């Protein structure tokens, strides 16, 4: 989930009581405190799909660490992620739950109100990734 979308979701959450607030997670420092857990072979790899308006690419390593990259409206970022055994914790400490893992799809959902399932497809060659993400993820350590 990109920063612009996070801000919009956070603003909506402030108006509506009882909704999960990504700002709380961002301030929590959860990423630094999260231990990566090996996800199993079915999740390991590179996945690309749409999450809201963003084209999102995840690279999940065997040890539960990885990278994610998103692009939308000339806004791009590549950052780190960790799998904690149940969900993906992004570097800014927001999270996404794993809904389903199949050979042809990784289904995730942002853990915040108003989100929908995002279906990511295998993309080892980064052919489905945005041009920015394809280049950035190939160059990332």
pLDDT for residue 129 is more than 70: yes
CA pair distance 64, 93, nearest whole angstrom: 15
- Residue 11 CA to residue 85 CA, distance in Å, equals 29
What average pLDDT score do residues 38-65 get? 95
Q: Which pLDDT value is given to residue 113?
A: 63
Q: Please check the confidence at residue 21 and state whether its pLDDT lies above 60.
A: no
Domain containing 57 — which CATH number?
Answer: 2.40.128.50
Confidence band for 49, pLDDT divided at 50, 70 and 90: very high
- Residue 29: the pLDDT is 60
Residue 97 vs residues 2, 15, 94: alpha-carbon distances, Å: 16, 24, 10
Percent of the chain topping pLDDT 70 = 78
pLDDT tens, position by position, 72-126 = 988 899 999 999 999 999 998 888 999 999 999 999 998 876 778 999 999 999 9
Task: Check whether 1 has a pLDDT greater than 80.
Answer: no
- Domain that residue 46 falls in: 3-139
Tracing tokens 């108003």 back to the chain, one arrives at: 114
Whole-number average pLDDT of the chain: 83
Contact 83, 39 (CB under 8 A): yes
What's the total number of domains in the chain?
1
- pLDDT average, residue stretch 23-45: 78
């Amino acid at each position: 989930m990109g920063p612009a979308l996070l801000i919009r979701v956070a603003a909506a959450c402030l108006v509506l009581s009882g909704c999960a607030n990504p700002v709380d997670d961002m301030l929590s420092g959860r990423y630094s405190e999260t231990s990566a857990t090996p996800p199993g072979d079915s999740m390991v790899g590179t996945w690309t799909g749409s999450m809201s308006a963003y084209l999102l690419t995840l690279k999940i390593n065997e040890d539960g660490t990885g990278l994610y990259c998103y692009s939308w409206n000339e806004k791009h970022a590549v950052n780190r992620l960790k799998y904690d055994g149940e969900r993906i914790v992004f570097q800014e400490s927001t999270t996404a739950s794993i809904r389903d893992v199949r050979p042809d799809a990784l289904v995730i959902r942002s853990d915040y109100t108003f989100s929908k399932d995002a279906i990511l497809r295998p993309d080892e060659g980064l052919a489905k990734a945005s041009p920015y993400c394809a280049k950035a993820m190939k160059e990332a350590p």
